[in-house]
Structure 1
Amino acid sequence: MAAEKSKLREYIEAVGIAVVLAFLIITFVVQAFYIPSGSMEPTLEPGDRIFVNKFIYRFRDPERFDIMVFDYPVDPSMRFIKRVIGLPGEEVKIEGGKVHIDGEPIEEDYTLQDSYSDYSPVEVPADHYFVLGDNRNNSEDSRYWGFVPRDKVIGKSLVRFWPLTRLGRVE
């Protein structure tokens, strides 16, 4: 009887440790996210599932072209995923379908198409980011609701794990 109790206790302890480790990993290291819309096409498609590195931005700030997950500034209960375009202190504008940073056009080979509308120059405030979807003509992003505060950033996209036919790094 004592041997049965110790085996049961062993199983309960193992499950408890697994639950605690899973909680710690999801909270601080990596988390899975589902892509619900086409705003990041062709990079990410509706139905894709990705892992997001929640650890990296504890040691460095987001960089231009990072694809990051953040709490939607208008409704923090929602999570959005977009590409970082403008960094703190930079001027961002869209002219003739091309994004300009501090007056210089940037090279973007990942967009579905050029933006159909111009966007007047704005300066990105300190500790904020200007983000855009890769599908510029079908993306609700910084052009509509403003900048992403640094404290709303959750993490950087890491790898697509579903569907298996598209398995790989998200770049």
Structure 2
Amino acid sequence: MKKYRRVIRTVLLALILAFVFRSYLFASYIVDGESMQPTLDDGNLLMVNKAVYDWQEIDRQEVIVFHANEEEDYVKRVIGISGDEVFVKNDQLYINGKLVDERYLDPLRPEDGHPFTEDFTLEELTGHKRVPEGHLFVMGDNRRDSLDSRYFGFVPIESVVGKVDVRYWPVNQLGVQF
């Protein structure tokens, strides 16, 4: 009888810990679509750290999950944070006038000379010269096929679910850095 109590106690503790981790610290998401290729593929399973932004600020280049609307969550890369001036010229991204290295886009860049990312300024797209306070400007890595801030505008920081920490499926694409 004593043996069963220990087993039951251990199982209950494991269930409680799993509930806490799942509810408050981490979430699992499935990539739906090709907007983050080549970094993430349709069907990849991701572990999202829901608590990281309780201790640190969201930074440029991080891959995040956010609530796009009541039914959908999107996975995108943070391009601009509050106060940033963002523009693309000649297929090159500039933040606050400085060229940003985006090597993660190289596998998709066309060799035919056509731009991968069309030229834009925030003012042309949104009417704002800079990313407003409390908001982010996000884009998918597959710039030619991504529904992102160029189309739906800025993302309120409070809609961010968390930071993508791990891709765990498929196993041959297991990864931590994005």
Once the two structures are superposed, the pairs formed by residues 89-168 of structure 1 within 5 Å of their partners are 89-111=83-105, 112-113=108-109, 114-121=115-122, 122-168=129-175
Cα distance, 1:154 vs structure 2: 1.0
One-letter code aligned to 2:100: I
Distance 1:18 1:25 in 2: 10
* Conserved? CA contact 1:68–1:153, under 8 Å: yes
One-letter code aligned to 1:48: N
TM-score w.r.t. length of structure 1: 0.86
CA displacement 1:148-171 (0-9 Å, x = unmatched): 111111111111111111112132
Query: Which structure 1 residue ranges, 5 or more long, are not aligned?
Result: none
Query: Which structure 2 residue ranges, 5 or more long, are not aligned?
Result: 110-114, 123-128
CA displacement 1:8-43 (0-9 Å, x = unmatched): x76665554433322211122111111111111111
* Conserved? CA contact 2:88–2:117, under 8 Å: no
Q: Does 1:46 align with 2:53?
A: no
One-letter code aligned to 2:38: P
- With over 3 angstroms needed to count, the CA separation of the structure-2 counterparts of 1:150 and 1:16, relative to structure 1, is same
TM-score w.r.t. length of structure 2: 0.83
Cα distance, 1:97 vs structure 2: 1.8
Q: What root-mean-square deviation, in Å, do the aligned CA atoms of Structure 1 and Structure 2 show?
A: 1.9
Runs of 4+ in 1 over 3 A off after TM superposition: 9-19
Residue aligning to 2:112? none
Residue aligning to 2:126? none
Distance 1:36 1:89 in 2: 30
CA displacement 1:120-146 (0-9 Å, x = unmatched): 234100111111101000100010001
Query: Percentage identity across aligned positions?
Result: 37
**For this pair of structures, how many residues does the alignment match?**
165
